Amino acid sequence: MTATVPATAALALGDDALVLSHRLGEWAGHAPVLEEEVALANIVLDLLGQARVLLSLAGDEDELAYLREERAFRNLQLVEQPNGDFAHTIARQLYFSTYQQLLYAELASGDGPFAPLAAKAVKEVAYHRDHAEQWTLRLGDGTGTSHERMQHACDALWRFTGEMFQPVEGLDADRAALETRWLESVGDVLGRATLTLPEGPRTGAWSAGAGRQGLHTEPFGRMLAEMQHLHRSHPGASW
Amino acid sequence: MVTATALEAELLELAGSVPDPELPVLTLKELGVVRAVRVGGPDTAEVDLTPTYTGCPAIEAMTLDIERVLRAHGVREVSVRTVLAPAWSTDDITPEGRRKLQEFGIAPPRVREDSGPVPLALGPTRTHEAQSEPVRCPHCGSADTELLSRFSSTACKALRRCLACREPFDHFKEL
Q: Work out how many CB contacts closer than 8 A connect A with B.
A: 94
Percentage of chain A beyond pLDDT 70 is 96
Does position A162 have pLDDT exceeding 50, yes or no?
Answer: yes
Give Cβ neighbours of residue A123 (< 8 Å, ≥ 6 apart).
Answer: B87, B89, B116, B117, B175
Per the CB < 8 Å rule, is B55 touching A47? yes
The CA distance from B81 to A137, in Å, is: 42
For chain B, the structural domain boundaries read 6-82, 92-172
Contact B32/B97 with Cβ under 8 angstroms? yes
CB atoms within 10 A of CB B95: 10
Structure-model confidence comparison of residues A72 and B150, the more confident one: A72
Per the CB < 8 Å rule, is B151 touching A131? yes
User: Which pLDDT value is given to residue B120?
Assistant: 52
Per the CB < 8 Å rule, is B53 touching A124? yes
Does position A136 have pLDDT exceeding 90, yes or no?
Answer: yes
Which tens digits make up the pLDDT trace of B59-82? 999 999 999 999 999 999 999 999
User: Which pLDDT value is given to residue A32?
Assistant: 87
Mean pLDDT value across residues A74-96: 97
**pLDDT averaged over chain A?**
93
DSSP state of B40: -
User: Which pLDDT value is given to residue B125?
Assistant: 42
Alpha carbon of residue B22 to chain centroid: 10
Task: Give B44-60 as a DSSP string.
Answer: EEEEEE--SSTT-THHH
The CA distance from A211 to A162, in Å, is: 11
Contact A160/A77 with Cβ under 8 angstroms? yes
The CA distance from A204 to A213, in Å, is: 14
Which tens digits make up the pLDDT trace of A12-69? 999 999 999 999 999 999 988 888 999 999 999 999 999 999 999 999 999 999 999 9
Top-tier CATH class for B6-82: alpha beta
Regions of chain B short of the pLDDT cut 70 = 1-3, 113-132
Sign of CA dihedral B163, B164, B168, B173: negative
Which residues from chain B sit within 8 angstroms of residue A124, using beta carbons?
Answer: 53-54, 155, 175
Please tell me if residue B51 touches chain A, with a CB cutoff of 8 Å. Answer: yes
The CA distance from A125 to A128, in Å, is: 5
Which tens digits make up the pLDDT trace of B79-101? 999 999 999 999 999 999 999 99
Per the CB < 8 Å rule, is B117 touching A122? yes
User: Which pLDDT value is given to residue B150?
Assistant: 87
Instruction: Kindly list the structural domains of chain A, giving each domain's residue range(s) and its CATH number in brackets, ordered by start.
Output: 7-233 (1.20.1260.10)
Reported ipTM? 0.81
Which tens digits make up the pLDDT trace of A165-217? 998 999 989 999 999 999 999 999 999 999 999 998 887 666 656 899 999 99
User: Which pLDDT value is given to residue B3?
Assistant: 67
Helix (H, G, I), strand (E, B) or coil at A65: helix
User: Which pLDDT value is given to residue A2?
Assistant: 43
Please tell me which of A1-5, A109-113, A170-174, B14-18 the model is most confident about, judged by mean pLDDT: B14-18
Task: Give A80-139 as a DSSP string.
Answer: HS---SHHHHHHHHHHHHHHHHHHHHHHHHS-STTHHHHHHHHHHHHHHHHHHHHHHHHH
Choosing among A5, A27, A42, which should be mutated to test the B contact, i.e. which has the most B CBs within 10 A? Answer: A42
User: Which pLDDT value is given to residue A207?
Assistant: 61
